[in-house]
Structure 1
Amino acid sequence: MDNVRIGIVGCGAIAQVHHAPNLKELWHLYDLNSVCDVSARAAAHVAARFDVPAHFTDYAAFLASDIEAVVFCQTDPKTDYVLQALDAGKHVFVEKPVCFNLDEISAMVSAQERAGVVGQAGYMKVYDPAFEVVAAEAADMDVRFVQIHHLHPTNDLHLAQFDVQRFDDVPAAVIQETVAARRAALVHALGTAPPDGVARAFFLLSGSMIHDLYGLRHIMGVPTRIHNVDIWQEGRAVTFQVEYANGARCNGTWIDLPDLWDFKETLEVCADDKRVTLKYPTGFSRGQLSEVTVQEIDANGTMVARTPAIDWASAFIREMQAFHGCIREGRECRTPLSEVHHDVGLIINLIKSHLGNG
Structure 2
Amino acid sequence: MSRIRVGVVGAGMISQVEHIPNLLRLGELFELVGVADPSRISRQFVTDIHGIANFETIDQLFDQRLDAVVIGSPDPLHHEQVLAALALGLHVFCEKPLCYSLAEIAEIVAARDAARKIMQVGYMKRFDPSYRLALASLPGTSSTLRAVSVEVNDPDAWPFIAHQPYRRGTDIPKDMIAVVAAKQKRQVEYAIGVPVTKLAFRGFTGAYSSALIHDVNAVHGLLDALGVPDGEVVGAQIFANGDGGQGAVKLLDGQALWTMTHLTVPKLADYKERITLFFDDASLELEFPSPWLNHHPTRLTVTTSDGHTLSKKDLRAGYAEAFVEEMRGFWAAIVNGDPVVNPPEHAARDQELLLGLTWQHLATAPFD
TM-score bin (small chain): over 0.9
Structure 1 gap ranges (5+): none
Name the Cα RMSD after superposition: 1.7
One-letter amino acid matched to 1:129: P
For 2:350 and 2:71, locate their aligned partners in 1 and report how far apart those are by CA, in whole Å: 19
Q: Partner of 2:124 in structure 1?
A: 124
Q: Secondary structure at the match of 1:332?
A: coil
Q: Determine the structure 2 residue equivalent to 1:230.
A: 237
* Contact 2:140-2:282 at 8 Å conserved across structures: no
Letter in 1 for 2:210: G
CA distance in structure 1 between the partners assigned to 2:271 and 2:308 by the alignment: 35
Map of 1:209 onto structure 2: 212
289, 304, 312: which one pairs with 1:296? 304
Give distance in 2, aligned partners of 1:51 and 1:322.
25
Residue 345 of structure 1: which of 337, 352, 362 is its match? 352
Name the residue aligned to 1:263: 271
Deviations 1:206-239 (A, max 9, x none): 0111110001111114532111112222222222
Aligned residues of 1:197 and 1:236 also touching (Cα < 8 A):
no
Return closer, same or farther for 1:231/1:55 CA change in 2, 3 Å cut-off: same
Corresponding position of 2:64: 65
Equivalent positions of 1:1-358 (< 5 A) are 1-52=1-52, 54-77=53-76, 78-138=78-138, 140-141=140-141, 142-204=144-206, 205-221=208-224, 223-245=230-252, 247-297=255-305, 302-356=309-363
- Alpha-carbon displacement from aligned partner over 1:169-205 (angstroms, at most 9, x marks no partner): 2122210111011111110011134111111110121
TM-score in terms of structure 1 length: 0.95
AA in 2 matched with 1:215: A
Give aligned-pair identity as a percent: 29
Cα distance in 2 for partners of 1:245, 1:341 equals 21
Q: Report if aligned partners of 1:121, 1:340 keep a CA contact under 8 Å in 2.
A: yes
Q: Is the 8 A contact 2:251 2:257 kept in 1?
A: yes
Counterparts of 1:268 and 1:338 in 2: how far apart (Å)? 25
Q: Which amino acid aligns with 1:277?
A: E
**What SS is found at the alignment partner of 2:41?**
helix
8 Å CA contact retained: 1:139, 1:219: no
Q: Is the 8 A contact 1:198 1:234 kept in 2?
A: no
**Structure 1, 41-50 or 80-89: larger mean CA deviation:** 41-50
Residue type at the aligned position of 2:209: S
Are the aligned partners of 1:6 and 1:32 in contact in 2 as well (CA < 8 Å)?
yes
Distance 1:264 1:24 in 2: 30
Q: Which runs of 5+ in 2 are unaligned?
A: none
Shift of 1:334: 1.5
Matched residues, number: 356
Change in 2 beyond 3 A, CA 1:139/1:111? farther
Separation in 2 of the partners of 1:110 and 1:274? 43
The separation in 1 between residues aligned to 2:178 and 2:209, in whole angstroms, is 21
